[in-house]
Amino acid sequence: MNDSNAAFTLAPAADSPRPLALTPGQDLRGYLSALLGRAVLFFITFSSVLAVLLILVFVVIRSVGFLSGSSIVEFLASQNWRPTAEPPVFGALAIIVGSLYVSFAALVFAVPLGILAAVFLSDIVSWKVRNVVKPIVEILAAIPSVAYGFFAVLVLAPWLQKQFGFSTGTNALNASLILAIMALPTIISVAEDSISALGRELREASYSCGATRLETIVRVVIPAAHSGIIAAVVLGMMRAIGETMVVWMASGNAPQIPHPWWDLAQSVRTLTATIAGEMGEAPETSLHRGALFAMGVLLLLMTLGMNLVSEYFLARAKKAGGRT
């Protein structure tokens, strides 16, 4: 984007007391100091990125024992998760489906609400009101997940039971509602950023054609900002799929695939909840622990997949000239 700037780096200003041409020594010194600075920055970046990436390696290494020793087909295709039985059965299909199920359901609640809220913040209210309202969204992000968990178990679950006559209140609906609340701040702030970044020209052009605000937003603003909005949705999805404590408390953790598929009132279990719930008690070198790490690898692959999807959309948006 701005690599061409390198040539300007050492260009002196017009009123500078320094001579216009540098001596070879100064030139070399400048070159070396820039190189050194770059090296230091590179080292810092490298080490922090490395520390972050090491965890991927860590998860993969810890799962190798399980993945090489037992049947991956069973892991991916069986619905029986009985890690402490004799012999143990590690079938994660129902749990994988549960993870995706809850996250998608959360998005169904969160995306419309998130986009509406983002539009409200960027296009409808004044700057002053926005500064008051936006912190509300950020407070939602600041509530620790333990607190959401309490809310899910002690308030939402009994309420759902009473209000809708469900036999159990800790179910897919409960978990996805809470996940939706937790994903909303991410979705709203990313979507709002991309919507406000569009600039006034587009909107003014649309208004000057006689379009109402609704038409401007639906036909002009949102299509123009769609790459950012898709990125927001994917980020929200990743937040939902990686969330642990809340799902563990709210989803009921029954390793089953809901039947019929749209029945949100049934309990489901997610990968993260299984890992969090069972990691503490599983013996260090057991197959069970390996299986839990293998679930971690699966989660990594899922988020990787989602990343690729979002990258694809962003790249396409760029190519189409949606972003300058």
Partner 1 sequence: MRKAIVSAVAVALAMSTAVRAETLRIEGSTTVGPIADAFAEYFKGVYPNLEITVNKNGSGNGATALIEGRCDIAAMSRFMEPQEFSKAVANKVYPVAWTIAMDGVCVVVHPSNPVKTLTSAQVREIYMGKITNWSQVGGSQTPIVVISRDSSSGTYETFETLIMKKQPMAQGVEYVNANPQAQARVRTTPGAIGYVGLGFLEGVKAVPIDGIAPTRQTVANGTYPLSRPLFLFTNGFPKLGSIPFKFVTFYLTEKGQDLIEAKDFVPMTNY
Partner 2 sequence: MRNLHVRGQLDRVFTATTALSIVLLTLVLVAILGPMVYRGSSAVFFQGTVEFRKMQKNLFGRGNEQALNAEVAETDQLRRQVYQMIDGFKKGVDVEALSEQVREIYRQFGQELRDKNVPTGQYTKLRELTRRIRDKLETAFHSQDINEIKRAVAEVLKEADNPHLKGTSAEKFFALARQFLQAAGQIDLSKHQEYAAAVQEVEGILFHSDSLPGLLGPRPGEPPAPLTMLRYGATRWDQAQVLLDRFLWVDQWVQEKPGEPLVLKRRPRAELFPESLRPLFAYVEQNADKMLHPRRTIYWQFLIDDNINSHYFGGIGPEILGTMLITVVGMLFVIPLGIISAAYLVECASDGWTMRIIRMGINTLAGVPSIVFGLFGLAFFVLFLFPALGFEPKPCILAASMTLAVLTLPVMIRASEEAIRSVPASYKEGSLALGASRFHTFVAVTFPAALPGILTGVILSLSRIAGETAPILFTGAVSLGAVPHSVFDPTRTLSYGSYDMAVGDRLAMMVPHNQYGMVVTLVLLILILNGAAIVLRTRVFKKLRGH
Window 43-102: residues binding partner 1 (CB under 8 A): 79-86, 94
The smaller minimum CB distance to partner 2, of residues 183 and 265, is found at 183
Let me know: does 232 contact 164? Beta carbons within 8 Å: no
Least Å distance between CB 144 and partner 1? 17
Interface with partner 1, residue 145, by CB under 8 A: no
Interface with partner 1, residue 254, by CB under 8 A: yes
Q: Which stretch binds partner 1 (CB under 8 A): 26-34, 118-126, 166-174, 201-209?
A: 166-174
Contact residue for partner 1 among 255, 264, 295, 302 (CB under 8 A): 255
84 makes contact, choosing from partner 2, partner 1, none, with CB < 5 to 8 Å by partner type, with partner 1
> What is the SS3 string spanning the chain?
CCHHHHHHCCCCCCCCCCCCCCCHHHHHHHHHHHHHHHHHHHHHHHHHHHHHHHHHHHHHHHHHHHHHHCCHHHHHHCCCEECCCCCCEECCHHHHHHHHHHHHHHHHHHHHHHHHHHHHHHHHCCHHHHHHHHHHHHHHHHCCHHHHHHHHHHHHHHHHHHHHCCCCCCCHHHHHHHHHHHHHHHHHHHHHHHHHCCCHHHHHHHHHCCCCHHHHHHHHHHHHCHHHHHHHHHHHHHHHHHCCHHHHHHCECCCCCCCCCCCCCCCECCHHHHHHHHHCCCCCCCHHHHHHHHHHHHHHHHHHHHHHHHHHHHHHHHHCCCCC
The smaller minimum CB distance to partner 2, of residues 104 and 261, is found at 104
Interface with partner 1, residue 144, by CB under 8 A: no
The smaller minimum CB distance to partner 1, of residues 3 and 284, is found at 284
Contact residue for partner 1 among 99, 186, 189, 267 (CB under 8 A): 267
The smaller minimum CB distance to partner 2, of residues 73 and 214, is found at 214
Q: Residues 274 to 313: which contact partner 1 by CB under 8 A?
A: 277-286, 288-289
The smaller minimum CB distance to partner 1, of residues 276 and 314, is found at 276
The smaller minimum CB distance to partner 1, of residues 242 and 277, is found at 277
299 makes contact, choosing from partner 2, partner 1, none, with CB < 5 to 8 Å by partner type, with partner 2
Q: Which stretch binds partner 1 (CB under 8 A): 37-45, 183-191, 219-227, 253-261?
A: 253-261
256 makes contact, choosing from partner 1, partner 2, none, with CB < 5 to 8 Å by partner type, with partner 1
Contact residue for partner 1 among 63, 103, 170, 310 (CB under 8 A): 170
